[in-house]
Amino acid sequence: MLGGIDSGYGDYLMFFPKYSAYTREILSSIISRRAYHQSSRLRMLEGKYKILADNSSIEKPLLDDRSYRFIKLNSNGLHALVIQDPQTDKSAAALDVHVGSFADKKFQIPGLAHFCEHLLFMGTKKYPEENEYSSYLSEHSGYSNAYTASEHTNYYFEVSADYLEGALDRFAQFFIEPLFSVSCKDREIKAVDSENKKNLQNDLWRFYQLDKSSSNLKHPYNGFSTGNYNTLHTEPVSRGLNVRDVLLDFYNSHYSSSIMSLVILGKEDLDTLTSWAIEKFSDVPQKEATRPNYNGELIYTPDQMKTMIKAKPIMDTHKMELTFLIPDDQEAKWRTKPAGYFSHLLGHEGDGSLLQYLKSKSWVNELSAGSMKVCQGNSVLAVELDLTPEGLDNWDHVLVHIFEYLKLISLEEPKEWLWNELQNMSKINFKFRQKQRAASTVSKMSNTLYKFTEDAFIPSDYILSSSVLREFSAKEIKEYTAYLNANNFRLMLSSRKLNGLNEKEKWYGTEYSYETLPNNVADGISSVGSNPHLHFPVQNKFIPNDFTVLKSKSDSPLIHPYLIEENEKFQVWFKQDDQFEVPRGAIVMFLHLPGTNHSAKNSVHSTLLGELIDDELNNIVYYASLAGLSFSIDHLRDGLMIKVNGFNDKLPVLLEKILDTVVKFEPKKDRYEVMKHKLAQDLRNAGYEVPYAQIGNHFLTLVNCDTYTYDEKVEILETQSNFEDFSKFVNSLLSDSSIFNEVLIQGNFDVSKAREISFNVQKIFSPYSSISDSTEERMSKLRSKSYFVPPGETIRHEVELKDEDNINSCIEYFIQVDRSLENKKLRVFTDLLSTIIQEPCFNQLRTKEQLGYVVFSGTRVTRTTLGFRVLIQSEKSTAYLEYRIKEFLESFSKFVNGKLTDEGFIRFKQALKDKKLQKLKNLGEEVSKFWSAINSGYYDFEEKETHVEILENITKAEFLEFFNKYILPDSKSSGRIIIHLQSRKVPPLDQQKIVHLSVHNFLYRSDFDLASDILDKVIADNYDNLNALAPEVAGLIVKSYPDQDAQKLQSSILETINRDIQSPIPEGFPSGSKYSLEAFKSTFDTTGIPVPVKPLSTYYGPKTIEDQAHL
């Protein structure tokens, strides 16, 4: 004790020995008052919560500096985990409700739980404005999201650390007094419908629903979870139901504190976070809701096992999936995890594995296996295979080999040495687990918190470490073999080549057939023999042994790597970890091979080379992946990008094996044929992705140099590529080519180890010549460029969707602000615009106008140009979407030039600053940051810090000048590139949609801000009687803006609506000059190449041994 203060505060006072006794007395008094307030707060909280696990008892990773407290609120039974992260610059919270779409069955409205998730955010009694929550988060560098699963609905947000309490207060009200606004109902039903339509052509959703639709009718697994306009509106209305009333019943029945789990992460101490959890969430009502229980009902009935579903996919794929029902005991057997033993063996990719054997027969490209809890009382173990065409023809033989491997496992006694390897890696992975982002942490933990409550199997002290294997049980593993048999599985086979698919699934329209497994197939798998080609894996030599951390965390970490080697063939960068204190590392290298991208054929062959090298290395790399190491090789631009990362102990060994394979690689004809077919298949399938996932590729293919379309590449693979040509290309590239290699070595290595790695890599490539001895000439050949559009010009590039049945189109509206990335002030202006416009853009175009489920805006950087974009995916035509984007930008200018207050501008600047200076959470993020700077050619390691310096000095007047000069649609200072990815099935706009959009457009253009819930109801009630609608809308305006003339408003509204009905898309849309890809690239100029922001000599590493110690 010191001066009446406990040792914690006494230690604090010891930092002030030089102060006088009087000053120390004052400091002691201040700290005493702080201690008093904290103890006072604790006294106020006494009896209001129960601690289930405290920081001292919770098993944590070695370097976890967060503190935890797991509590239960006495007032309503809500479980909460509070997490103090003293270093965080982002706070977050999540609330998981243990109810999901399986509860729809009781209410007979598919999609009801999902609809509740949507409508819940539309205002609360305390905060009635529907975008109050999102605006608060947006202004403080935050965001929110939610998802609905089978048995859970999960809500979460992230915000700058100083604004957690305000965000929590708003967040809590959704679970206390949500409005479920009447008028928002129809709009959110349409939003759910739009979300569902987004997934209609997605094979993952289609096959998941097909499995559900063919399951036990008595189990809610059989239902349709997303919902659509018919299930949430048309059908309930036909039954005389008001879906909002049913929703209120659903909410009041299930949204109970007793089945909610809350996680809060902030920089405040545990007592403060605990007090906020109690103060904000004690009023969440407790009802009689319980966690889901299906009274022993299984998702499949006995007669639904040993069956086969054949289905037609949207994409050109051939897949096989086996699903075994296994005991739902993953929580009860959390110490032993017997299902994991089988997942590990079935999914193994090393020699003797099922995958390696099937690949040797050219029947399978990929195989994965894993167990999963479907719902309470039901778990499955699934094996999924990506078949080749030959594998599809021999699917019954593939099935036999799967059961041969299962028989091998069942006949052998469980291997304790193998289990020990799995246990060892589970301990290592947990011990050295790195921090994840705040939002990800709280969302995941809230979803699993129920597993650690008082009545759960897993003790709450293991809330962070339940993934660790604890005990070997040969008995429990053996028991599982009884479930992995020929009578306890379902088979799904999918391919466009399958015939006799005479049924259509109700919700997605998937063509399929359903039958009992043919007798000859059933007999074949029931009487399999042994297969000499299949055997257990060998011991893993990549499991790390040395976890020594070479350097402690520094108070002043290095802000860039050092250039420790530069010559005519190599540039080697190095940074020793001085922030994260983990025994991990990363080595990234770009092997520049000129010629790989000079033609479409070379580009395709280079991609194929990367795929074949990856295929060749599969056995080695898979063992490495089990030991916490990862590897990737990709063809990018003019070379091959190779990355290895993970525990640093064996990382250099892995890299040398990989590079040795690269330089000595010789293609094999059988693997060439298989991988060529797979690559062509993947490229074709890219055209069947959801439109918003495709449009970015169309944009970058247009604006970047030496890029080729997927169609060009497919044609080459199908008509021009053969094994002889490919072999010549590989031989020329890897034997006769000149090279340049950029390398980054980062992590738990000292400089001597980094130089050793550098020496060994250079030795491997010593036979190769240099691209050029001149640095300038070398860089001119290596650095890639982009095309730019002259200021004032608008370019239109149109692409038709390949998927004839996809009703969604997509537009990317790109405003090119600068033809280079060297003007940092323009970059900061563009980023600031993105921060200010994000919420209004989403609110207007998605929430109010309901153009589509996917609406996005933000900065877009190409290789060498800077711009701002708006992206929308919608059922409406891209011409109409362009019109709405242009209108939005014109109307938004009124906000920027008139309503953006000085205080608001300062808040947005601060939000951007917080985002720019957001702390790196783990080594991987730092590696990505530094490699991005190197690979770009700018070497701007301090980019974000420089941006913040510029941001601090930007005035509102300067920002307004930027906006009016570059962003307004008629700007002559910026170019525009508009990508139209158009569906072949664009439905016409009906009158209700036109009227709805017209009224919202009128209000937005006129700068009238009305409550959407009231307005939308007026429109819905009067859209077919315009003479009644106009005075209703005018009356709402006058009520909020008394100085307006109601009569004049009526006339203007009526005139606007009639004009829009006559011509929904004004003349002049789509705008701009239409260009094909070839015409664009032959017409417009390219930018210059990237130039380093500083001379590279600035980053040279120390030469002496003494100085190197500081690296």
Rounded average pLDDT per 10-residue block, the chain, 1111 residues: 30 36 47 50 80 97 96 98 97 98 97 97 92 93 96 98 98 97 88 95 97 98 98 96 96 97 98 98 95 93 98 98 97 97 98 98 98 96 98 98 97 97 98 95 98 96 98 97 97 97 98 96 95 97 96 90 95 96 97 90 96 96 97 94 98 97 95 97 96 96 95 96 96 84 97 96 93 83 91 97 95 96 96 97 92 96 96 96 96 92 96 94 96 95 97 97 96 97 89 87 85 81 91 91 92 91 90 96 95 94 54 55
Instruction: Identify the pLDDT of residue 21.
Output: 46
User: Per the structure block, which two tokens stand in for 861?
Assistant: 């950087």
Cβ atoms of residues 250 and 259 within 8 Å: no
CATH number of this structure's domain 49-281: 3.30.830.10
In angstroms, the CA 404 to CA 325 distance is 19
Based on the number of CB atoms within 10 Å of its own CB, is 696 exposed (0-12), middle (13-18) or buried (19 or more)?
A: middle
3-state secondary structure of 99: coil
The CA distance from 389 to 678, in Å, is 10
H or E element at residue 538: none
CA 214, distance to chain mean position in Å, is 30
Question: What residues act catalytically?
Answer: 117
Dihedral angle over CA of 749, 563, 613, 773, nearest 10: -150
| C-alpha closest to that of 346 among 208, 475, 484, 492 | 484
Q: Is the dihedral of CA 944, 946, 951, 952 positive or negative?
A: positive
Q: Quickly name the fold that domain 794-985 has.
A: Cytochrome Bc1 Complex; Chain A, domain 1 (3.30.830)
Residue 23 pLDDT: 46
Residue with tokens 């009781």: 106
Query: What's the fold here for domain 562-774?
Result: Cytochrome Bc1 Complex; Chain A, domain 1 (3.30.830)
The beta-strand segments (E) located in 376-470 are: 378-387
Q: Which of 420, 435, 424 lies closest to 62 in space, CA to CA?
A: 435
Per DSSP (E only), the strands in 784-941 are 794-800, 809-818, 854-861, 866-874
Q: Is 794-985 the same fold as 49-281? A: yes
- If you count them, how many residues does the chain have? 1111
Q: Report the candidate in 688, 875, 685, 689 with the shortest Cα–Cα distance to residue 197.
A: 875
1090/459 Cα distance (integer angstroms)? 56
- Bond preceding residue 220 cis, omega within 30 of 0: no
Distance CA 745, CA 903 (A): 45
- The Cα 246–Cα 226 span in angstroms is 17
- Asked if residues 1058 and 995 have their Cβ atoms less than 8 Å apart, the reply is no
Residue 242, token pair as written in the block? 């008001």
Read off the amino acid at residue 233: H
Question: What's the confidence (pLDDT) of residue 746?
Answer: 98
Pairing verdict, β 364-375 and 378-387: antiparallel
Q: What token pair was written down for 483?
A: 């479930």
Owner of token pair 């293991």: 462
Rounded Cα distance between 43 and 45, Å, is 5
| Residue 854: its H or E element | strand 854-861
Of 586, 593, 584, 585, the C-alpha closest to 613 is 593
At 7 the pLDDT is 30
User: What confidence score (pLDDT) does residue 44 get?
Assistant: 72
Distance of CA 113 to the CA centre of its chain: 23
Residue by residue, DSSP assigns 992-1057 as HHHHHHHHHHHHHHHT----HHHHHHHHHHHTT-HHHHHHHHHHHHHHH-TTS-HHHHHHHHHHHH
Residue 11 to residues 7, 28, 101, 179, 603: CA-CA distances in angstroms? 6, 11, 53, 50, 64
The DSSP bridge partners found for residue 53 are: 70
As a whole number of angstroms, the distance between CA 344 and CA 336 comes to 14
Instruction: Return d(Cα 801, Cα 597) in angstroms, integer.
Output: 26
Two structure tokens written together for 115: 């609809």
Tell me the C-alpha distance between 737 and 639, whole Å. Answer: 11
DSSP code for 178: B
Mutual orientation of helices 1046-1062 and 1026-1040 as an angle, nearest 10°?
A: 130
Residue 1108 confidence (pLDDT): 53
Q: Which tokens belong to 713?
A: 């590449």
Query: Rounded CA gap, 523 and 732, in Å?
Result: 52
In this prediction, residue 812 carries a pLDDT of: 99
State the fold for domain 302-414+472-496+506-526.
Cytochrome Bc1 Complex; Chain A, domain 1 (3.30.830)
- The DSSP bridge pattern shows strands 67-73 and 79-84 to be antiparallel
Treating both helix axes as pointing N-terminal to C-terminal, what angle do 651-663 and 618-626 enclose, rounded to 10 degrees? 170
**pLDDT in the model for residue 5:** 29
Alpha-carbon distance of 710 to 686, in angstroms, equals 8
List Cβ neighbours of 402 (8 Å cut-off, separation of 6 or more): 322, 346, 354, 383, 525
Question: What does DSSP say about strands 629-636 and 639-647: parallel, antiparallel, or unpaired?
Answer: antiparallel
Could you give the 3-state DSSP secondary structure of residue 31? helix
- Helix, strand or coil for residue 102? helix
Pick from 573, 590, 604, 607: which is nearest to 643 by CA? 590
Tokens 């992460």 found at: 265
d(CA 458, CA 451): 6
The pair phi, psi for residue 485, each rounded to 5°, is: -130, 175
CA atoms of 595 and 314, how far apart (whole Å)? 35
Token pair 């990367």 in the structure block, residue = 610
> Would you tell me how many other CB atoms lie within 10 Å of the CB of residue 104?
24
Mode of pairing for the β-strands spanning 738-747 and 570-576: parallel
Residue ranges covered by each domain of the chain = 7-45, 49-281, 302-414+472-496+506-526, 562-774, 794-985, 990-1063
